[in-house]
Amino acid sequence: MSDNSSNAIDALQWENRRFPPSEAFKDQALVAGTFMYDTAAQDDLGFWAQQAAELIDWSTDWETICEWNLPFAKWFVGGQLNVSYNCLDRHVLAGRGDKVAFHWVGEPGDTRTVTYSDLLAETQRFANVLKGLGVGRGDRVNIYLPMIPEAAVAMLACARIGAAHSVVFGGFSAHSLRDRINDAEAKVLITADGGYRRGDVFALKPVADEALESTPSITGVVVVRRGGNEVAMQEGRDHWYHDLMAAADPVCAADPMDSEQLLFLLYTSGTTGKPKGIMHTSGGYLTQVAFTHKYVFDLHDDDVYWCTADVGWITGHSYIVYGPLANGATQVMYEGVPNFPGNDRFWEIIESYGVTKFYTAPTAIRTFMKWGIEEPAKHDLSSLKVLGSVGEPINPEAWMWYHEHIGGGRCPIVDTWWQTETGGIMISPLPGATTTKPGSATFPLPGIGAELVDENGVRVDRGGGYLTLTRPWPSMLRGIWGDQERYRETYWSRFDGRYFAGDGAKLDDDGYLWLLGRVDDVMNVSGHRISTTEVESALVAHPSVAEAAVVGATDATTGQAIIAYVTLRGGAEVTEQDLRNFVGEEIGHIAKPKAIYFTPDLPKTRSGKIMRRLLRDVAEGRNLGDTSTLADANVVTELQRRAADVPAED
């Protein structure tokens, strides 16, 4: 075992504020002690079998909990279930059909209330629509939609008939959509005329049409009317959703599927440039997302839960569609951006619907900080009980702002670590059981094995290292579509017998885990391996800084130099040297950025992720790659200009 080996990532910054759950919260919490951890530690397979039996309805019992042939796993072997039935039918059959599944809010202000009965009826009709278009068990269906209830309907209808869906985020380009359709060899595409973003309609069908010029596997296209924009419809191939639904049979039985039936493909970026089709199956995946949704968010029957993600990402799959619906939860689904028509849109929705459990990204939280505390202060947020964070490590300053200004100092924060590949949450507090520290994801959940190792695969018990998973888990990816050798090479070759997907982390003296982001976002400065996350966290801790992004750029002297891009809070003024000195005080001299560029905004995708690849290109003066997914491509042009004008610090 290693104690911060020289082959590991340097852990430069520690946080020791502690926030135990209140006695009032513990009194009503589903989990308030260590019994669940203790049970799982004694028999992790038995623990997962218990969750599968309690949370999921099976039409045929499984014979084997887990077959593990490294790196390939099968869970609940021999068992049969229908994922759509578990998300819909069983709730209606139990007399809960009138319970609201979705309070849907359109960006322009239109709303819909969708009950479980409504959702079941629409899903059955659309399952029959898909059958009528020739879709059957084992086929693939692409979904390219805005955040509208039809997106969930399309996914659940595929699951109902055993077709695998591949959802593509509505902000992706025609090129990205085409590549994903062709890799999956999808038979049908489901899209919309357009959707709303920032007060305008963004057209989807024309983008889809461009992609469809070279997608030979597609035989049918279903178009949902949402934006009202003019679109071209190709005779024989394109069909309006409402026309097909009006003619469809209202009843479609939920046929039992094998536990290992492919449920969906979800594409994630690959280092080679070719997207990876991550494969997730049915029984194990549904078990883990139902379990994690229920216990991480301390879900009660009267909760109103809101995850702000898009269904185009894994967070939308697991914590908008499958986990919450399997648990019979009532949710908010919102179509648009957080600042239309005003910067308080999220807080207005929380107040209107009495949201109790709120799950969003650190990028969004830092943006809210930039907009100021007066925005949430306009609204009554007292309904909130648990706050969640997802997508990237959250810096302590953002954690504290979230805690104080959104949670009113009373709501536990569940900072969750997981990936497209893991399918469900892996590391997170349980809000009634875990004492949290701002910025730490705390501990692996019951039934999850996670360890840090150094460069040589030796376990690290304190300090920085590479985050690995030591045993199979139910919602784990089953491979990469069409390329299982790439699966083995990408995730299982770096450390013998361990899953490693590229994230660094550190362990403090109390055993708390702190995520440091991707190790390809670890900079090697004069022999010190420094995480971009820690430098960003230090910069954002300065009272003048709203947001920061840090990259490493090639440097002849130090190997890599730290380059920072900083957005200031409204009206704030601070010099580059002041910030460099502040980072030096927070972390150490070695972590001072060589150059800091002040910018009114950072290059982000439409989902809010900072595109650090583009920032590295700017820092090293390279030509930029694909910028089609940027929310505002002008941001990068401005950064290039500033980088050319501003000399780097010595």
Residues 6+ apart with CB under 8 A from 602: 547, 549, 565, 567, 610, 615, 635
In a domain, 532, yes or no: yes
Neighbours of 538 (CB within 10 A): 29
Cβ neighbours, 10 Å, residue 242: 10
State how far the Cα of 553 lies from the Cα of 212, in Å rounded to an integer. 39
Radius of gyration of the chain (CA): 24
Q: Is residue 214 part of a domain?
A: yes
Q: Is the dihedral of CA 165, 238, 333, 153 positive or negative?
A: negative
Six-digit token string for 482:
């069409």
Dist. CA 322–CA 158, nearest whole Å: 13
* Domain membership of residue 563 as a residue range: 526-645
In the predicted structure, residue 646 carries a pLDDT above the cut 50: no
Q: What is the pLDDT of residue 601?
A: 86
pLDDT band at 363 (very low <50, low <70, confident <90, very high): confident
What pLDDT sits at residue 521?
Answer: 72
Per the CB < 8 A criterion, the answer to whether 622 and 615 are in contact is no
Mean pLDDT computed over 61-67: 98
Kindly tell me the burial class for residue 639, based on how many C-beta atoms sit within 10 Å of its own C-beta (0-12, 13-18, 19 or more): buried
Q: Residue 594 sits in a domain of what CATH number?
A: 3.30.300.30
Question: Closest Cα to residue 320, out of 289, 285, 366, 282?
Answer: 289
Task: Evaluate whether residue 49 is within a structural domain.
Answer: no
Residue type, 241: Y
Q: What is the pLDDT of residue 585?
A: 81
Name the strands in the sheet holding 413-415, side by side, starting at the edge strand that comes first in the sequence: 111-115, 100-105, 330-334, 304-307, 357-360, 386-389, 413-415
In whole angstroms, how far apart are CA 367 and each of 4, 280, 334, 402, 471? 34, 32, 18, 11, 37
pLDDT of residue 398 exceeding 70, the answer is yes
Confidence of residue 67 (pLDDT cuts 50, 70, 90): very high
Residue 616 tokens, joined: 């590295």
Q: Is residue 104 part of a domain?
A: no
**Mean predicted lDDT score pLDDT of the chain:** 91
Q: Which residues contact 451 (CB under 8 A, 6 or more apart)?
A: 459, 460, 468, 470, 498
Strands 413-415 and 220-224, sheet pairing: unpaired
pLDDT of residue 16: 79
CA angle 217, 223, 225 (to 5 degrees): 170
Rounded to the nearest 10 degrees, what angle do helices 634-645 and 612-619 cross at? 30
Beta carbons of 362 and 395 less than 8 angstroms apart: yes
Contact 440, 516 (CB under 8 A): no
Q: Which of 228, 252, 276 is the last residue of a domain?
A: 252
The CA distance from 436 to 440, in Å, is 7
d(CA 121, CA 511): 48
Determine how many CB atoms are found less than 10 A away from the CB of residue 491: 21
What is the rounded CA–CA span in Å between residue 586 and residue 51?
Answer: 43
* Residue range 37-58, pLDDT digits in tens: 999 999 999 999 999 999 999 9
What is the Cα–Cα distance from 85 to 441, expressed in whole angstroms?
A: 33
* Number of folded domains that form the chain: 2
Q: What is the pLDDT of residue 648?
A: 37
- Confidence (pLDDT) at 612: 79
Provide the pLDDT for residue 543: 92
> 515 pairs with which residues across the strands?
505
Would you say 444 and 426 are in contact if contact means Cβ atoms under 8 Å apart?
A: yes
| Beta-bridge partners for 197 | 200
Q: Residue 409: inside a domain, yes or no?
A: no
Question: Looking at residue 589, what is its pLDDT?
Answer: 76
- CB-CB contact of 436 with 302 (8 Å): no
Which one is predicted more confidently, 1 or 440? 440
Does the pLDDT at position 647 exceed 70? Answer: no
Compute CA distances 199 → 108, 128, 338, 343, 364, whole Å: 7, 34, 11, 13, 19
The DSSP string of 443-467 is: SBPTT--EEEE-TTS-EEEEEEEEE
Q: Could you read off the pLDDT of 540-591 as tens digits, one per residue?
A: 989 999 999 999 888 766 778 899 999 998 888 899 999 999 988 877 777 8
Residue 552 covered by a domain: yes
Q: Return the ∠ at Cα 631 (arms to 574 and 389), rounded to 5°.
A: 70
- What pLDDT band is residue 614 in, cutting at 50, 70 and 90? confident
Does residue 328 fall inside a structural domain?
A: no
Residues 427, 447: contact at Cβ < 8 Å? no
Q: What is the pLDDT of residues 306-325, one digit of tens each?
A: 999 999 999 999 999 999 99
Residue type, 202: F
* Higher local confidence (pLDDT), 434 or 557: 434
Query: pLDDT at position 279, please?
Result: 98
Residue 544 lies in a domain: yes
CA pseudo-torsion sign 63, 66, 69, 72: positive
Sorted by sequence, the CB contacts under 8 Å of residue 261 that are 6+ apart come out as 137, 162, 281, 282
- The helix-helix angle for 35-42 and 44-55 (nearest 10°) equals 120
What's residue 634's pLDDT? 72
The answer to which of 224-238, 373-387, 422-436, 516-530 has the lowest mean pLDDT is 516-530
The tens digit of pLDDT for each residue in 8-35 reads 666 556 677 999 999 999 999 999 999 9
Question: Which position has the higher pLDDT, 410 or 627?
Answer: 410
User: Which of the listed residues 218, 252, 286 is the one where a domain comes to its end?
Assistant: 252
Q: What confidence tens digit (pLDDT) does each residue in 247-289 have?
A: 999 999 999 999 999 999 999 865 445 779 999 999 999 999 9
Average pLDDT rounded to a whole number, residues 116-123:
98
CATH number of domain containing 222:
3.40.50.980
Rounded to 5 degrees, what are φ and ψ at 522?
A: -100, 130
Q: Domain end: 235, 252, 269, which one?
A: 252
Convert the pLDDT of each residue in 402-417 to its tens digit. Answer: 999 999 999 999 999 9
Query: What is the structure's pLDDT at 631?
Result: 57
610 band by pLDDT with thresholds 50, 70 and 90: confident
pLDDT in tens, 463-483: 999 999 999 999 999 999 999
Structure tokens at 138: 């084992």
Q: Both tokens of residue 498?
A: 């361990």
Whether the pTM exceeds 0.75: the reply is yes
CA distance 415 to 429: 7
Distance CA 561, CA 556 (A): 9
Strand residues in 158-197 grouped as ranges (E): 164-167, 188-192, 194-197
Which of the given ranges, 12-21, 155-164, 586-595, 601-610, has the highest pLDDT on average?
155-164
Asked whether residue 6 carries a pLDDT value surpassing 60, the answer given is no
What pairs with residue 267 in β-bridges?
Answer: 277
Residue 649 confidence (pLDDT): 37
Q: How confident is the model at residue 7 (pLDDT cuts 50, 70, 90)?
A: low
pLDDT at residue number 87: 99
Check if the beta carbon of residue 611 is closer than 8 Å to that of residue 605: yes
Give the pLDDT band (50/70/90) at residue 617.
Answer: confident
pLDDT at position 381: 98
Least confident of 392-396, 500-504, 537-541, 602-606: 602-606
| C-alpha to C-alpha distance for 396 and 413, rounded to whole angstroms | 12
Ranges 195-199, 413-417, 499-503, most confident: 413-417
Comparing C-alpha atoms, which of 528, 473, 529, 524 is closest to residue 501?
Answer: 473
